[in-house]
Chain A
Amino acid sequence: MTLSSSTLLTSAAEGGHHSVPVVEAMSPDGVFSLLWLVIALPLAGAVVLLVGGRLTDRWGHWLGTATVTGSFVLSVVMFVQLLGRDDAERQIGQHLWDWFAVGDFQVGMDLLYDPLSALFLLLITGVSALIHLYSVGYMEHDPRRRRFFGYLNLFVAAMLMLVLAADYVGVFLGWEGVGLASYLLIGFWQHKPSAAAAAKKAFVINRVGDIGMSLAIMLMFVTFGTTAFAGVSAAAGDATESTMTAIGLLLLLGACGKSAQVPLQAWLLDAMEGPTPVSALIHAATMVTAGVYLVTRSNFVFENAPVAQTAVVVVACVTLLWGAVIGCAKDDIKKVLAGSTMSQIGYMMLAAGLGPAGYAFAIFHLVTHGFFKANMFLGAGSVMHGTGDDVNMRHYGALRKAMPVTFLTFAMGYLAIIGFPGFSGFWSKDKIIEAAVAENYLVGAAALLGAGVTAFYMTRLMLMTFFTKERWEPEVHPHESPKVMTVPLVVLAALSVLGGVLLLGDWVTTWLTPVVGEVEHHELPVPVIVLTGIVVVVVALGVGLAVLLVGRREVPREAPQDVSFVTRAARSDLYGDAINDGLVVRPGGVLVRGLVATDARGVDGVVEGGAGLVGALSSVLRRTQNGYVRTYALSVLGGAVILVLAMVAVTW
């Protein structure tokens, strides 16, 4: 390995190309040997809560909160330890056991703790701990609160597995686990048909992404004979570019599924059907970052596959605008936030697609976004809590007086996301736009435009919720939420404001250098300060436009119907569902209706997306299964004849 990595370095130096860091972990000592506990704690919590049954009803939610808090404390301790180490010693691997070991091929249950996973660990455990705390209050009246906490714990454990695994197979384990847990959470209130449908949709769409992920892993295994980060990163330079491109594109497909990037974006908006803003948040601030993590972690793949990298940038640009436009037209507060999440993840993907110039900023934005989006989602939950679970912003208005704490904390998140100078989002988004402009004007323009649109829809949300006139239902009496909900809000608000400190002295980029390589500095066409100015101006324009269009006018309680085509399109998620529907579901459905009109059971299989087609096919094929032996014998005979003929034909 030393040999190959040194040759890599030499060749890179000669070619004037940057070097791609190789994952080379050292063995754990001290507190790092407790790394496994970070995952084991919430996992144990999930097991106790889900298996323990009603015995744990009374204290289950506190147990769930405690396990995640324990993981958080561990993460902080380890983070501090890691800070005290040299750059070269900041990759720590823990080998738990050999998962499978066949000859030279080994998949170990290995964990990798390095600067990248350290940041993710802090984010995931920290945000999750707050969510758990908040849910104690939010789910107080739900009879199935214990189960909810069980699922949350499971989710956290899977997510931690995802970011701590030192092997793509391990990542896949977490990947599947997160998918399962999110499915359970979205469908938690399954008595609502919309929730059940949303859960199904998220599941089906995520499966498509999983195909990409599994194929990528399989391809890596066949190419490199290993799926460990260490092995793949060391050998990545030796593989052909077309192989690397294929792996990269497949990984991108996987990332698209989890991170709700176009074309696999449709599930995220529906996932807001989850019972609470809490689960919405789980998806919006935590799970969707898995794709960004995957791309950043696989930098050694993408650096060797420029085509795949370009694909990442394209997907990211489309998504960041797509999500922003959707955010403009939605009246459901959670869906606006979901659209905005899509868009912000687009920013992160964009940065990650830009290569070493952007990886660090992708993660930086991911962290700040984690803070302010969590803040806003919980704020939205608090608003809903206070207004009797109404999610329609047209039914809000002037809530700032009724819910001062929620308002103030939400405002911090708002200022952060639009990139108000000084707030965390300003620093992180600005860096991405900079890098994008340096890469390509078109990409830069898209990022800039996205910033403007973000400012517009977030201002609209702010105005419709906290300002303008009261439009509550008569029986609704908005009130501030209990302490257990507002305390997390205050903490997150503070983080949204201060998140930018990570950039002080380029700390975050230096920190991540061992993982993603040195940040490349491109020449900007204009001085940085000018670009920043332009961004601020564009944001101000967006805010102004929103004030003009929303703040100065009466907001109707019912959404007006005589609106432009663009608004209508945006309201229906830019026809994302219609596209799915038209391309996949409808033909499947027609096939079913035409062929099995009499077969009432056939409808059962018709769900969404690919499942529609499969279901239709299923009912068609089932007609061959008619129960008559003569038909079966005929199929055996037919198969035999074909087999024999084909066998003969193959050789001639």
Chain B
Amino acid sequence: MNDEFTGPAIEWARLWPLFAVFGTALVGVAVEAFAPRSARCLIQSSVAGVGLAVALVGTVLVALELPERAGGAARGDVTAGGAVVVDGPTVFLWGLLVVVTVGGLLLFAERRVDAGLPVFAGQASLPPGSTAGPGGPGEPSYEDWEHTEVYPLLVFALGGMMLFCASGDLLTMFVALEILSLPLYLLCGLARRRRLLSQEAAMKYFLLGAFSSGFFVYGMALVYGYAGTLNLAGVAVAVRAGGGQEVLLLVGAAMVMVALLFKVGAVPFHSWTPDVYQGAPTAVTAYMAAATKIAAFGAILRFLYVGLGDARWDWAPLLWVVAILTMLGGVVLAVGQTEIKRLLAYSSIAHTGFLLTGVLGLQASGDLAEGQISSLQAVLFYLATYGVATVGIFAVTTLVRDPGGEAGSVARWTGLGRTSPLVAGAFAVFLLSLAGIPLTAGFVGKWSVFASAAGAGAWPVVAVAITSSIIAVYFYVRHIVTMFFADPPEDAPVVVVPSPLTSVTIAVALIVTVALGVVPGPLLDLAGHAGQFVR
């Protein structure tokens, strides 16, 4: 054993946004412990807000200072002893994650949609239907309580996600995976309405998530057995050198991929998605659907491109199959859906498939034709368009309410275009973007991932992708038609006027969705400017 220990160099200048986020979460825990109950909500949301603002500014500052590598093809640094890599894609994803989290935070703080009540349950352990106070009839009822822990949990999840897509080795990746997952499991169980569904969702998500994490650890161990290191760059070196027990590597990689594919909800690891999306509080669903996918795709890209880039002929065929299954499974199951949040869940599965199609566009930089979209750039852009539209669309679903909570059934939205053209219009725009209709962000996103996959020769996948996006258009547009073309039912659901928190979220998402469809250039350039991963 080496007696001389030198601490790994920590590049504070690159990592401080990450620390800021974790620090904010810790402050949140302290506030939760010491602030009086009545003041907590305000303090918590302000703390989280400030933290996110700092993180956003930090991300931009860090992005501006990234040093160039490999003759300008990549930018960034490997830091913390190889555990964290802050490079172009990392900061892009960071920025995206923070923006999405801001949207999530605004939705979390909303309390006007449910008659002044917060969107979260008073007590996680509260059984359905109970409103009695903690100390009996005289005490304030749980109705007025609120789990203000949601704010630190949100920020913790964000921290985990930021670390997840910046991990330079599998161990960090695993820790980050847990940091991001655990808060989400909890948040899923906190819906104020439809408690049983919510608790069931949290339980399912937790059990299956823990199950898939097991695969990650096992796979990680096997990869270590092959490469002798957990560092992705080290794995890449071992792969390039060849030799050794290749089976170890392949089985290990497959198992790590199982966990990652589980997180993004790829078929056949998708089954939790609809149940969890439906049961979780919609604000959480909005956040989770967008942010988890962004972070997990960041990790998938890093794992496959950095660690296994030279073994891509081994994994690409499998990913072909998974991508095809995911797209078809997502759209086919969505066609029969009658529940809005489930419908969106299946649509998000389909989007996972489209993103995987983009991942398949990996080519050696030498093979890339002049001026061609790199797959990394395409996927990053797609994530941006998808994330924004997802937050927006789920935010809209919180507004249409029945007496017992949100109007979940598609049939209840019938004729909404007549009664509330603005809400229905916004919903329609998001649907069109998810469907990938030209002049919305989704179209450009789809175009770029398909083009990059086609450029890498994944023609069958692209053909399936186009077919599935066309099936998808069918059910998206069918929903638009029900909203605008049918008469509203007698007992039509109420469309509540939200506070500026939700309105701003929806409005910004709407503007971005349309703007990215009309002038996607700047963001595409930004994604391209992110360059390659730094090893």
Q: Mark A residues whose CB is within 8 Å of B.
A: 51, 53, 97-105, 169, 172-173, 176-177, 180, 183, 187, 190-191, 196, 199-200, 203-204, 207-208, 210-211, 214-215, 218-219, 221-222, 225, 601-602, 604-605, 610-611, 614-615, 617-619, 621-622, 624-625, 627, 629, 631-633, 635-640, 642-644, 646-648, 650-651
Contact = CB atoms under 8 A, between A and B. Distances in A.
A99 B269 contact: no
Interface string B448-482: 10110011000000110011001101100110010
B402 interface: no
Given A53-B421, A601-B336, A650 B208 contact: no
A191 B519 CA distance: 38
Interface string B316-347: 01100110000001011111101000000000
Nearest to A621: B333
B477 A176 contact: no
Contacts of B519: 97-99
A208 B373 CA distance: 27
Contacts of B274: 625
Given A97-B519, A211-B467, A636-B208, A643 B258 contact: yes
Contact of A218 (B212, B262, B439, B451): B451
A219 B473 CA distance: 21
A651 B250 contact: yes
B interface: dominant SS: helix
A183 B481 CA distance: 9
Interface stretch (B27-35, B58-66, B494-502, B521-529): B521-529
A187 B454 CA distance: 36
Contact of B371 (A105, A215, A610): A105
5 contacts: A99-B444, A222-B455, A615-B335, A615-B336, A625-B274
A638 B268 contact: yes
A218 B470 CA distance: 15
B275 interface: yes
B520 A619 contact: no
B52 interface: no
Contacts of A219: 454
B11 interface: no
Which 5 pairs between the two chains have the least Cβ-Cβ distance?
A104-B371, A103-B371, A618-B336, A639-B268, A632-B271
Nearest to A637: B211
B364 interface: no
Contacts of B447: 100, 169
Contacts of B485: 187, 190, 196
Interface in B486-519: 486-487, 518-519
Interface residues of B, number: 77
B344 to A, nearest CB: 15
A99 to B, nearest CB: 7
A650 B471 CA distance: 31
Contacts, number: 192
A551 B497 CA distance: 65
B246 interface: yes
Nearest to A640: B258
A610 B475 CA distance: 13
B371 A176 contact: no
Given A169-B447, A604-B336, A624-B271, 17 more contacts: A98-B521, A100-B521, A102-B528, A200-B478, A218-B454, A221-B451, A604-B338, A611-B471, A615-B335, A621-B332, A625-B274, A635-B269, A636-B208, A643-B257, A644-B250, A647-B254, A647-B318
B524 A619 contact: no
B78 to A, nearest CB: 27
B447 to A, nearest CB: 7
B284 to A, nearest CB: 19
Most B CB within 10 A of own CB, among A100, A208, A611: A100
Contacts of A625: 271, 274-275, 333
A51 B484 CA distance: 13
A643 B335 contact: no
Contacts of B194: none
A635 B336 contact: no
B528 A204 contact: no
Nearest to A53: B421
Contact of A102 (B272, B425, B525): B525
B207 A602 contact: no
A190 B373 CA distance: 43
Given A604-B336, A618-B333, A647-B250, A627 B275 contact: yes
